[in-house]
Structure 1
Amino acid sequence: MGRFASTASLYEHLRPPYPSEFFRSVTRKLGLSKQSSLIDLGTGPGLLALGFAPYVGRIVGVDPEPAMLDAARRAAARAGHALSLIEGKAETLAPDIGTFDVVTIGRALHWMDRESTLARLDKLVAREGAIAICASFSATDGSNPWLDGYNEIRRRWSPARLWEAAGRGTRTHRDLPAFFRDSAFRPAELIAVETSHSVIVEDLTRRTLTYSSSSPEALGDNVEAMLKDVGKHLVPFSRDGTIAETIVSTAQIVKR
């Protein structure tokens, strides 16, 4: 069972959402149309793939975790979008899968082997195509005053080795020039969209379970204790059972 198997049912509904304006902005910047093709690597429950579905033609999602693919399959059916799903990794894709106008990667780059992924991307990305490294996260500029304490509680309950691995993943997304060093690709421009919404305290509490470092699999018998700790921290920041959250959604565009 993969590291995200225990989070699949939660991930889709509890992670910070990508707003509609994010998909519109990236679509405009890349000039995507119904003639465009897109492959989403590490698709999870299909958040990126299905978000771009109204704007492109062929869509493929790839993920090594069967439970995540099941969630993506159900989400595609509910949305009424055609989505081809492949169980596997970028490095193991069949050579005859073809090329795509855009390759999207969410918070999955740090799980990929650098050398083999770069070699595969060179063949996946069409001549004038692009890679979009995407993320959606709670703003860290102070507009979410509950966030530092929330993350500290997650860190305290997470096994140290998994928290350190999560930190390395964050650094990978921030240091894209290093990841693409000595390849044909270079980071071009960053698209950022900031939005705000209200989130139910219980949902924000349970969001902790969608991260590999604080998943039910990682925490074992400590799940309920951590949730109680997080919930107690969040209550003073809530009003009528909800908390205001500012979200930043980004796409780092990478091109040849």
Structure 2
Amino acid sequence: MGRFASTASLYEHLRPPYPREFFRSVAHKLDLSRESSLIDLGTGPGLLALGFGPYVGRVVGVDPEPAMLDAARLAAARAERHVTLIESNAETLASDIGSFDIVTIGRALHWMDRDLTLALLDRLIAHDGALAICASFSAADGRNSWLDGYNEIRRRWSPAKLWEEAGRGTRTHRDLPAFFRGSSFQPAELVTVETSHLVGLYDLAQRTLTYSSSSPDALGENVEAMLRDVLKHLFSFSRDGAIAETIVSTAQIVKR
């Protein structure tokens, strides 16, 4: 069982959402159409694959975790959209899958082997195609006043090794010029969409369980204790059981 198996039932509904305007903006920037094809690597429950679905023709999602693919399959059925789902690591994807006009990757690049991934992207991305490395996260510039304490509680309860891995993943995600240095690809432009919404107090607490470093699998018998700490911290920021959250959704466009 992979490290995200215990998060699959929560991930889709509790992670910071990608708003419709995000998908619309990226699709417009890349001039996507029903003639376009898309493959989403590390698709998880299919958030990017389904979000971009209305703007392209063929959609493929790839993930090594069966529980995540089951969640993506259910989400696609609810949305009445066809998505081809493949159980595989990105680096070992079959060579006969063809090329795509757009390749998307969410918060998964840091799990991938750099050299193998660069070779894969060279094969997957059509000559005039693009890669979009996407993320949606709570704004960390002070507008979410609850966030620092929230993350500190997560850090305190997370096994040190997993928290260090999460930190390395964040750095990898941000240092894309270094990742693509020496390859035929380079970051082109960044699409950013900011939105605000209200999130339920208990949903925000439960969100901690969707991260690999503080998943039920990682925390074991400490799940309830961590959740009590998180709820205690969040309560003073809530009103009528909800908390305001500003979300930043980004797509770093990468081209040859």
| Residue of structure 2 equivalent to 1:131 | 131
Aligned residues: 256
Which residue does the alignment assign to 2:6? 6
- Structure 2 partner of 1:152: 152
Give the equivalent residue in structure 1 for 2:85.
85
Q: Which amino acid aligns with 1:175?
A: D
Give the Cα–Cα distance (whole angstroms) in 1 for the partners of residues 79 and 108 of structure 2. Answer: 24
Offset of 1:239 from its aligned partner? 0.2
Q: Which residue of 2 aligns with 1:176?
A: 176
Report matched runs for 1:1-256 at 5 Å: 1-256=1-256
Q: Percent identity?
A: 80
Residue 182 of structure 1: SS of its match in structure 2? coil
Secondary structure of residue in 2 paired with 1:53: helix
Cα distance in 2 for residues equivalent to 1:129 and 1:200: 39
Q: What SS is found at the alignment partner of 1:230?
A: helix
Structure 2: gaps of 5 or more residues? none
1:200, 1:101 → 2: CA distance? 38
Q: Please state whether the residue corresponding to 1:40 is helix, strand or coil.
A: strand
CA displacement, residues 23-78 of structure 1 (integer Å, 9 cap, x when unaligned): 00000000000000000000000000000001100000000000000000000000
- Give the structure-2-normalised TM-score: 1.00
Quote the offset at 1:89 in angstroms: 1.3
Provide the C-alpha distance between the structure 2 equivalents of 1:157 and 1:91, rounded to a whole number of angstroms.
Answer: 32
Report the 3-state secondary structure (helix = DSSP H, G, I; strand = E; otherwise coil) of the residue aligned with 1:155.
helix
Runs of 4+ in 1 over 4 A off after TM superposition: none
**TM superposition shift of 1:181:** 1.1
Q: Distance in 2 between matches of 1:185 and 1:246?
A: 32
Q: How many angstroms does 1:98 deviate by?
A: 0.4
Supply the AA of the counterpart residue of 2:15: R
